[in-house]
Amino acid sequence: MSRGAVRLSKRSTLLLRGAVGVGLAFIYVPLIVIVIYAFNSSKVLEWPPPGLTLSWFSKAIENEAAQEALLTSLKAAAAATAIALVLGTLASLAVARHRFFGRETISFLVVLPIALPGIVTGVAISNTFTQVLGVDLSLFTVIVGHATFCIVVVYNNVVARLRRTSVSFEEASADLGGDTWQTFRFVTLPSLKTALAAGALLAFALSFDEIIVTTFTLGAREETLPIWIFRNLFRPNELPIVNVVAVLVILLSIIPVYLAHRLTREEGGAVGRGGRGDKVEAEATAVP
């Protein structure tokens, strides 16, 4: 199937194409501006740029603080994603496969941390650690904060998948003598792969670019990339480097986004749940 299934009149299609074009332009014009400013020869962001230069790129790549911050961000995002994957999957299994009092509250509970302002979440978590528990702020507290609001994306993806996969496979496994763990390991988990990948990708992205909760939970020793950017954005001498770092991060992020997309598509075809491949694909992106 190489064409979409719905046919519209020429005029409607054209109108729709126009709307898509406008939307994409809205999304991409600022990104193009960022790319252009990465080559700006002046430190002041004027339009049009007085000249172009490549010199900021070498400065950005050599910037040790930025490298360290990138590494810290990757660590934090990986750890937060891992926690969110475990907690999100557990919660979604409970909700999709069991009935219990307060079941309907769970989806409410998981969405709350992302629905409330970051400043509220950040201050609340920071106060609990420093004042109630007496724990110093560190990368660990950042990870706790990030994991808290990342659970929802994993949960949503997995719960959507579980709702659509039939319980009969699991029942069959049980009937054939598989125990709870085996059923999970060999029947449930494989069918969740793509949903988990999509959830993980989004959790990672959310954590990687988070700034407000991070501001309040970060300790003395570390700095994540968004915090590094925040710190340098307001320093005229460093501003061009920030633009370059932003462009490099966008370029680097094409790889995981593309890979995850490929993965979800292939898996979608192979597992073939719910029939058509692109349906699975849609679900995998059914975030945030």
Partner 1 sequence: MRSKDAHPARTAWLVVAGLIVFMLVLAGCGSSSDDNGGGGEELQSLGKGEGEVNLVSWAGYVESAWSKPFEQKTGCKVNNKVAGTSDEMVQLMRSGQYDGVSASGNATARLVDGGDVDPVNVSLVPNYETIFADLKDQPYNTFDDKPYGIPHGRGANLLMWNPDDVKPAPTSWDVILDPKKAAAYKGQISAYDDPIYIADAAVYLKMHEPDLGIENPYELNEEQFNAAVDLLKEQQPNVGEYWSEAAKQIQAFAGGDAAVGTTWQYQYFALQEEGKPVQASPASQGFLPKEGATGWSDTWMISSEAKNPNCMYEWMDWIVSPKVNAEVAEFFGEAPAQSLACDQTADKEFCAKYHADNPAFWERVYYWETPLADCGNGEEDCKDYNEWVQAWTAIKG
Partner 2 sequence: MATEAVVSRRSVGRRLAGLFHGRPRLQAGSLLAGPVGWLVIGYLGSLAVLLITAFWTVDPLSGEVVQGFSLENVETLIDEPVYRDIVGRTVLIAALVTLTDAILAFPIAFYMAKLASRRGKAILVVAILLPLWSSYLVKVYAWRTMLSNDGVINWALEPFGLHGPGYGMTAIWLVMSYLWLPYMILPIYAGLERIPDSLISASEDLGAHPFTTFRRVILPLAFPAVVAGSIFTFALTLGDYITPRLVSNEQFIGNVIFANITNNQPFAAALALVPIVVMIAYLLVARRLGAFEHV
Interface with partner 1 in residues 178-217 (CB under 8 A): none
Amino acid at residue number 8: L
Residue 181 interacts with partner 2 (CB under 8 A): yes or no = yes
Q: How many residues bind partner 1 (CB under 8 A)?
A: 28
Pairwise CA distance, residues 148 & 142, whole Å: 10
Span from 17-25, 63-71, 135-143, 187-195 in contact with partner 2 (CB under 8 A):
17-25
Q: Is 12 in the site for partner 2 (CB under 8 A)?
A: yes
Pick from 115, 172, 233, 252 the residue near partner 1 by CB under 8 A. Answer: 233
Question: Does 132 interact with partner 1 (rule: CB under 8 A)?
Answer: yes
CA–CA distance, 272 with 278 (Å, rounded to integer): 10
CB 61 → partner 2: shortest distance, Å?
17
Applying CB under 8 A, which of residues 27, 234, 254, 255 lies at the interface with partner 1?
Answer: 234
Site for partner 2 in 61-120 (CB under 8 A): 86-88, 90-91, 93-94, 97-98, 100, 106-120
Q: How far is the CB of 31 from partner 2 (least distance, A)?
A: 6
Task: List Cβ neighbours of 192 (8 Å cut-off, separation of 6 or more).
Answer: 89, 158, 161, 162
75 binding partner 1? (CB under 8 A): no
| Binding positions for partner 2, 182-201, rule CB under 8 A | 182
Scan for tokens 């307001």, then name that residue: 234
Measured distance CA(134)–CA(128) in Å, rounded: 8
Among 58, 127, 166, 180, indicate the residue that binds partner 1 (CB under 8 A): 127
Task: State the minimum distance, in angstroms, from the CB of residue 257 to partner 2.
Answer: 5
Site for partner 2 in 120-159 (CB under 8 A): 120-121, 123-125, 127-128, 131-132, 144, 147-148, 151-152, 156
Virtual torsion, Cα 276, 256, 209, 235, nearest 10 deg: -140
The size of the chain, in residues, is 288
Q: Are 125 and 219 in contact (CB under 8 A)?
A: no
Residue 55 vs 127, nearer CB to partner 2: 127
Q: Does 176 bind partner 2 (CB under 8 A)?
A: no
> For the purposes of burial, counting CB atoms within 10 Å of the CB of 44, is it exposed (0-12), middle (13-18) or buried (19 or more)?
exposed
Among 141, 160, 105, residue whose Cα is nearest residue 280: 160
User: Residue 51 carries which side chain, given as an amino acid letter?
Assistant: G
Q: Given the rule CB under 8 A, which of 7-15, 126-134, 153-161, 253-261 is the region that contacts partner 1? A: 126-134
Q: Does residue 104 belong to the site contacting partner 1 (CB under 8 A)?
A: yes
Output the CA torsion 248→250→253→255 (10° steps): -80
